[in-house]
Amino acid sequence: MKNILVLVSLGLAVWFLAEIGLKDSLAADIPQTFTTNEGKTLKLVWSDEFDGVGLPNPQKWGYEYGFVRNRESQFYTREREKNVYQKNGVLTIESFKEHFEENGQTAEITSGSITTEGKAAWTYGRIEVSAKLPKGRGAWPAIWMLGTNIREIGWPKCGEIDIMEYVGFNPTQIHATVHAGDAGKHTHTSKGSFIRIPEVEDRFAVYAVEWTKDKMDFFVDDELYFTFKRGDRNIEPWPFDKPHYLILNTAIGGAWGGAKGIDEAIFPCRFEIDYVRVYQ
């Protein structure tokens, strides 16, 4: 019996040390600092490597729910592992063509949208996401941010930072856009640009914004392709000196994503995220 207890104890000790070693190894693989395009060194302040199994960490992520915006076709589900799940170090947002009923609402397409609203938000820094994009006409994945005061002053006055938008009917074209309230006769103003990157549906690329008090620089795989400077638009109030939270989602159809219809062959439609990292 004593020999058995010794063997069990040794086994537990080896397992414990292996776990510590694995965690240390994973932590060592994550860059703790980042040097920006302008040579400033930032420190890692928040990240999710999606190393768990099942639903994403509820301390870091919440969900949008229902039919939310832009006349999109999908119903965003909440805490439904079929639509949002972690596996093998990757978070997948998966969209399905399926009949779905919940809380008196009916949908024929389900998808996921996760958000750090009420859990984490940032003013300035580098926000980067490694992701592989879904393919096909009708898919509209996005990596973006909204001002935390949206429920008080509304959109677009709260500010919106689109780090990455992609519409499946226009493959290889990656968009970044900044939205805000207009100080003139219009309520909304925006400025954006795009870059063509091959094979973004077949590999992971890093989408990032480097945000300071005077400007935002947007990158794909550290290639700078768009800069938005304070003064580029007549904005009032200026929202980009206040905290913004992060959203990761796949819309299906809608005002832009559905401009050329929805190809039902895209389902199931997968938006895969390897990690999210924030440096300040």
The catalytic residues are 160, 165
Q: How far apart are CA 136 and CA 267, in angstroms?
A: 9
Q: How far apart are CA 243 and CA 123, in angstroms?
A: 5
How many other CB atoms are found less than 10 A from the CB of residue 250? Answer: 27
Tell me if 247 sits within 8 A of 69, measured CB to CB.
no
Angle at the Cα of 147 (from 143 to 153), degrees rounded to 5? 135
Which single residue is written with the structure tokens 């008080």? 152
What does DSSP assign to residue 201?
T
Q: How far apart are CA 131 and CA 13, in angstroms?
A: 37
Q: How far apart are CA 218 and CA 178, in angstroms?
A: 10
Tell me if 107 sits within 8 A of 100, measured CB to CB.
yes
3-class secondary-structure state, position 10: helix
